[in-house]
Structure 1
Amino acid sequence: MITFGPVPSRRLGQSLGINNIPGDKICTYACIYCQVGATRHYTLERASYYSPEQILAAVEEHLSKLQAVPDYLTFVPNGEPTLDIHLKESIRLLMQSGIPIAVITNASLLGDAAVRDALSLADWVSVKVDANDETVWKKINRPHPKLTFEGYKEGLLTFASSYKGILATETLMVDGVNDGAELLQHNASLIATINPSRAYLSIPTRPPAMRSVKKPDEEAINRAYQIYTDAGLHCEMLLGFEGSDTGFTGDAREDILNMSAVHPIREETMGEILRKNRADSSLPDQLVREKEIREVIYQDKKFWIRNFTRAEGIGLA
């Protein structure tokens, strides 16, 4: 289950996802809003997961089944992609496809020169900047205890100063946590120093790790946009459903399992997967009975997410 999609991305068009961190969620953070759910393996140690050759083979096989070439090959696993010690070589091998390569990272390991070196090969990198305040950073991102706020910021600024590709930042706002005016002004100041091509503001649109997480109201969202714009940032809002126009491989079961491992599947999208793969409409219910996926309701919408059955990790509430 290395590849999934392509899925419609609010930032990248049609994005073929690469899940380079296998199994249950392995991450340096346990963000309260994470759509993948609880962090089950909490670590700072980079390790070997899939070999670069395995990732290349999986991407090539997936591409061979698609009717159209995706806009990006995107490392967006159920965890932190830079924990993969082979990330640089995997990117290098995938460059031969001619398709732009993106990495979505929480930026926690940018203090490591090897991580910065790996990301330097990507065409597009998104870094997470949810708070420019240590207390709020710990509350919303719940970083590994050995991570320091100053170390996180230093790595962020060092990478931004040398990266030659398209750099984006993303701030996900949670009601009552990081959506206050003063906090957003501090955050905008930090992001302005990074000088990204785009500074994205987003809100929870899929089931979060903690049930207590709520999206900000319209007033807070509008205020945040004005604060970012006034700071000179090219700000864009990511507030809605991306659409259901997903890619397909002809194997609905595998498409559902692969996508739901890293990307909760909304009801409209599930319908498209089944239609495009000419699969029976009872397949989601069958996978629920087999305990491969589970159904959840979030903001009155139905989603299916991968049902990992190991011991519960950090982040459930």
Structure 2
Amino acid sequence: KIDCFTLSGSGEPTLHKNLDKIISLIKKETKNKYPICVITNSSLLYKKEIRKELRKADIIIPSLDAASFNLFKKINNPHPQIKLSKVIEGLINLRREFKGKIYLEIMLIKGLNDGLKEIEKLKKIIEKINPDKVHLNLPIRPTPEKVNLPSQNKLEKIKKIIGGKAFLVTPSLKAKQYKDSLKIKEKILEFLKRRPANLEELSICLGENSSLISKHLSMLLKEKRIRKRFHKGKLNFLIND
């Protein structure tokens, strides 16, 4: 069942010069039957022309992961021309102009932006933006550097501080760990049945942290279900016949 059409991809939708036309085309082809959602990193929302491109969407999910510039740099690694003050300004103006729903997304990382002082600062900014909902998320995709996740208890505290608009949109940590331990080996085996791959490829293609993939690769090697082979200087894994 289709809930909505989401524009996100592996890049930033607001960089597309024909975003407005794409939204219009989807609405036309689907006879306006489904809502259109756009996920954005918020970096270009300070530009009026970008906000205008988004006006025909039904839902916008912009992100804001920090209330201080230093944390903004650490977490998002923005282009030097992108300033946190401009991002916040763009979000406030988006709310004034946009008639649809805005679900603000915050990605929480242990030891960076999950401190209660930082959350209090974020709360004040959120009140200025006035989104319809606040989605509290976790970095579950592979990242260039290892990151730690806040505890479930900490997430509940953060949710309480932000207030009634806040929702945890990621599975509980215990449920996620159970699911990973149950299914990750099968996902690796299914992939390796198609072709050999190295650790980095498996991590990216399966959307899992490399340390988790490495752990299960070791288990599969011990079980002799896979074997390893060096190819062009890289350690590859392949299925045992």
Is this a same-fold pair by TM over 0.5? yes
Aligned counterparts of 1:130 and 1:196: Cα–Cα separation in 2: 15
1:112–1:181 distance in 2 versus 1, CA, 3 Å: same
CA positional deviation for 1:129: 1.2
Q: Which residue of 2 aligns with 1:284?
A: 191
1:150–1:294 distance in 2 versus 1, CA, 3 Å: same
CA positional deviation for 1:298: 3.2
CA positional deviation for 1:85: 0.8
CA positional deviation for 1:87: 0.6
1:235 matched to 2:166? The reply is yes
Tell me, yes or no, if the aligned pair for 1:129 and 1:191 is still in contact at 8 Å.
no
CA positional deviation for 1:219: 3.5
Higher radius of gyration, 1 or 2: 2
CA positional deviation for 1:217: 2.1
Tell me, yes or no, if the aligned pair for 1:205 and 1:240 is still in contact at 8 Å.
no
Secondary structure class of the residue paired with 1:294: helix
1:234–1:269 distance in 2 versus 1, CA, 3 Å: farther
CA positional deviation for 1:225: 1.0
- Give identity over the alignment, percent: 26
Q: Which residue of 2 aligns with 1:82?
A: 14
1:77 aligned partner, one-letter code: G
Secondary structure class of the residue paired with 1:200: strand
Aligned counterparts of 1:294 and 1:127: Cα–Cα separation in 2: 29
Per-residue CA shift, 1:212-255, capped at 9, x if unaligned? x11012342122111101xxx411002318x9xxxxxxxxxxxx
1:141–1:266 distance in 2 versus 1, CA, 3 Å: farther
Q: Within 5 A, what are the aligned runs for 1:105-144?
A: 105-144=40-79
CA positional deviation for 1:266: 11
Segments of 5+ residues of structure 1 without an aligned counterpart are 1-67, 244-264, 275-280, 304-317
Q: Which residue of 2 aligns with 1:161?
A: 96
2:4 aligned partner, one-letter code: Y
**TM-score using structure 2 length:** 0.73
Question: Which has the higher mean CA deviation after the structures are superposed, 219-228 or 76-85?
Answer: 219-228
Q: Which residue of 2 aligns with 1:103?
A: 38
CA positional deviation for 1:267: 8.1
Aligned counterparts of 2:197 and 2:142: Cα–Cα separation in 1: 21
2:157 aligned partner, one-letter code: R
Per-residue CA shift, 1:242-278, capped at 9, x if unaligned? x9xxxxxxxxxxxxxxxxxxxxx9985997xx9xxxx
Aligned counterparts of 1:104 and 1:112: Cα–Cα separation in 2: 16
RMSD: 2.9
Tell me, yes or no, if the aligned pair for 1:108 and 1:152 is still in contact at 8 Å.
yes
2:161 aligned partner, one-letter code: I
Aligned counterparts of 2:185 and 2:210: Cα–Cα separation in 1: 17
**TM-score using structure 1 length:** 0.57
CA positional deviation for 1:186: 0.7
Query: Residue 160 of structure 2: which of 220, 226, 244 is its match?
Result: 226
Tell me, yes or no, if the aligned pair for 1:288 and 1:295 is still in contact at 8 Å.
no
Tell me, yes or no, if the aligned pair for 1:199 and 1:236 is still in contact at 8 Å.
yes
Q: Which residue of 1 aligns with 2:112?
A: 177
Query: Residue 139 of structure 2: which of 200, 204, 223 is its match?
Result: 204
1:102–1:176 distance in 2 versus 1, CA, 3 Å: same
1:127 aligned partner, one-letter code: P
1:269–1:193 distance in 2 versus 1, CA, 3 Å: farther
> RCO higher in 1 or 2 (8 Å CA, sep ≥ 6)?
1
The structure where helix makes up a greater share of residues is 2
1:191 aligned partner, one-letter code: I
Per-residue CA shift, 1:9-31, capped at 9, x if unaligned? xxxxxxxxxxxxxxxxxxxxxxx
CA positional deviation for 1:204: 2.3
